[in-house]
Structure 1
Amino acid sequence: MPDYLPFDPNPRPPHTPPPADACDSQFHVFGDPARYPVRPGAVYEMPTATIAAGLHMHRTLGITRGVIVQATTYGPDHSVVVDALKAAGPNYRGCANAAVFTAASDDALADLDAAGIRGARFSRQGLGPSLSEAEFTAALAKTRELGWYVKVQPEASGVAAQIAPFENLDVPVVIDHMGRPDVARGLEDPSVLKVLELLRRGNFYVMLSLGEKISKAGPPWADLIPVARAYIEAAPDRIIWGSDWPHPVSVKQPPNEGALLELLYSFTQSEGERRKILVENPARLFGFPA
């Protein structure tokens, strides 16, 4: 298993506090492998990225809501997320990995729903357990039956080439990581054009995240601003933000979370936009109180 660089253990507050009820729409939790066994073939593990460390990061940033996204490290076993949701309390929700549909009974899926799981993430190739065509179709059907949203993790080459199977869904669909655009191509990048097209359909959301890896320019990652602005202006009510803490599979040192929240601020032009992205849009999507 390769060694990847860890998260910054000393998060700092952003220069401006986020609005009340701000939500981190994607972070991951890990734990002691003795309690939470790593699946065979897992690409990575980060046992120090516990729910306690994640909640400390949120308190430091001024974030009070979050969505714990199942890491591919554990495959269909969602024990680490369920336990983390119990520890985090009612201001937190979970997102399953779609691999769960290959292993869990209807009763087990109902238990996950009761625990606070509200969506299923379809992982990119090479990171998560792969689904056969039949399993993929069944997973999408079960997600709709449960009333969950669908989450698409883009390939490193961009989301444009992989999005076709999700385009005609009638459930909320979240595109992670800005669709992994090639920012050197700007607004003419095929993935940016596809995301903008999908945002016009009414049920697609985009998560502003992974900027530190998408940027070609490096800190403060200003080359992302034109793409982020295009998304915000296209669908201000369907843009969310995620820290992606603890930044799995990082080959460069991950930035401080305070800097990543400030990156989001650089995308916005008003307090109203920040409130939509951090509070109102995730509240509606994940089922938090308005």
Structure 2
Amino acid sequence: MSNPKAEYLPFDPNPRTPSEAPPRNSCDCQFHISGHGYKKREGATYSSEGATFEAAQRMHRKLGIDRGVIVQSTVYATDHTIVLDALKQLGPNYRAIGVIDDTLSDNDLENLKTAGVCGIRFTFREQLNLVPSWDLFQRSAARCKELGWILKVNAPWDGLNPELVAQIRKLKDQTIEIDHMARIRGLDDPNLATVCDLLQEGNIWLMISNGHRYSTYPHFNEAVDVAKAFIKANPDRLIWGTDWPHPLHAEFMPNDADLLELVYRYSEDPVIRKKILVDNPARLFGFSA
């Protein structure tokens, strides 16, 4: 999927109502947006046409999701115009995660914070063509700490490598969120124990999203097993997101209700579900209880 001209599937524009409504104030902790008239960066590897914030909000209403976190797309990188425009319209139930480099000034970051940006994301997935140097990662982590922001990590496609784990462990006094189940693929994945250990460190959060990408279609049993291991390790540091509009999907496109129902399979305990969907995101992103 590294070919920038590859044909990826469009998102399902007709999300169905899930079999069970999620708890009130449930949060989609990662979705991306696009729109006409916004400048795409040179080197962007995909484009999700029609994935506007209005379309995302319609999806949330259909699923029963009340809160959300826009994650700046690598398509736009450090130009946050589209995110700032969306936050103005979406109101207090939405936050955003940005993308930064050394071209953004401290004043730029303060303006983003005022608008509702509460963290930055670094992607180490090579297909997205925006992997940072370690120097940039470390400098930006320090700036993130000064702002009290979340530092969000998108692991390489083949999972966390020892150097990335070492970098994460160095940042003990700031909040780290690891995306997409850390790309753990089943209970035999050698990184599973590492991620469970990270969840015990007190500053590490994990988004248990995209389980369908790292397990077998159509049952996704591997994702269920892995999520249960994460819940056993630390249910107070787990969140969830749709990753709508599901960029770089080339094989099949899930309906977003399927993804919420996959979360329900991770635990039948309503208390655990509420932690993952409501309580933990509220603490991490600063939503009211």
Shorter-chain TM-score tier: over 0.9
Shift of 1:153: 0.4
- Does 254-263 or 157-166 show the bigger shift? 157-166
- 2:280 corresponds to: 281
Contact 1:19/1:279 (<8 A) preserved: yes
Contact 2:125/2:155 (<8 A) preserved: no
Q: Do structure 1's residue 265 and structure 2's residue 264 form an aligned pair?
A: yes
- 2:98 corresponds to: 96
Shift of 1:288: 0.1
Contact 2:228/2:267 (<8 A) preserved: yes
3-state secondary structure, aligned to 2:101: helix
- 2:69 corresponds to: 67
- 2:40 corresponds to: 38
- 1:205 corresponds to: 205
3-state secondary structure, aligned to 2:75: helix
- 2:175 corresponds to: 172
Count of residues in Structure 1 that have an aligned counterpart in Structure 2:
282
**Could you state the TM-score of these two structures normalised by the residue count of structure 2?**
0.94
Contact 2:32/2:71 (<8 A) preserved: yes
Select which of 29, 37, 40 maps to 1:25. 29
Structure 2 Cα separation of the partners of residues 130 and 111 of structure 1: 25
3-state secondary structure, aligned to 2:230: helix
Select which of 6, 12, 20 maps to 1:8. 12
Shift of 1:264: 0.2
Structure 2 Cα separation of the partners of residues 106 and 261 of structure 1: 38
Shift of 1:280: 0.3
**Could you state the TM-score of these two structures normalised by the residue count of structure 1?**
0.94
Which one-letter code corresponds to 1:120 in the other structure?
Answer: I
User: Is the alpha carbon distance of 1:101 and 1:253 closer, same or farther for their aligned partners in structure 2, counting shifts above 3 Å?
Assistant: same
3-state secondary structure, aligned to 1:74: coil
- Does 85-94 or 162-171 show the bigger shift? 162-171
- 1:132 corresponds to: 133
Contact 2:125/2:154 (<8 A) preserved: no
Contact 2:9/2:253 (<8 A) preserved: yes
Shift of 1:8: 0.5
Shift of 1:150: 0.8
- 2:58 corresponds to: 56
Which one-letter code corresponds to 2:15 in the other structure?
Answer: P
Structure 2 Cα separation of the partners of residues 151 and 163 of structure 1: 13
Shift of 1:234: 1.0
Structure 2 Cα separation of the partners of residues 190 and 78 of structure 1: 37
Runs (4+) of structure 1 exceeding 3 A deviation are none
Contact 2:124/2:130 (<8 A) preserved: no
- Percent of aligned pairs with the same residue? 46
Write the mapping of 1:112-131 to structure 2, written as runs, cut at 5 A.
112-126=112-126, 127-131=128-132
Structure 2 Cα separation of the partners of residues 274 and 49 of structure 1: 27
Which one-letter code corresponds to 1:74 in the other structure?
Answer: Y
> How big is the alpha-carbon RMSD for the aligned residues of Structure 1 and Structure 2?
1.2
Structure 2 Cα separation of the partners of residues 142 and 221 of structure 1: 38
Q: Deviations over 1:197-222 (max 9, x none)?
A: 1011111111111112111x212312
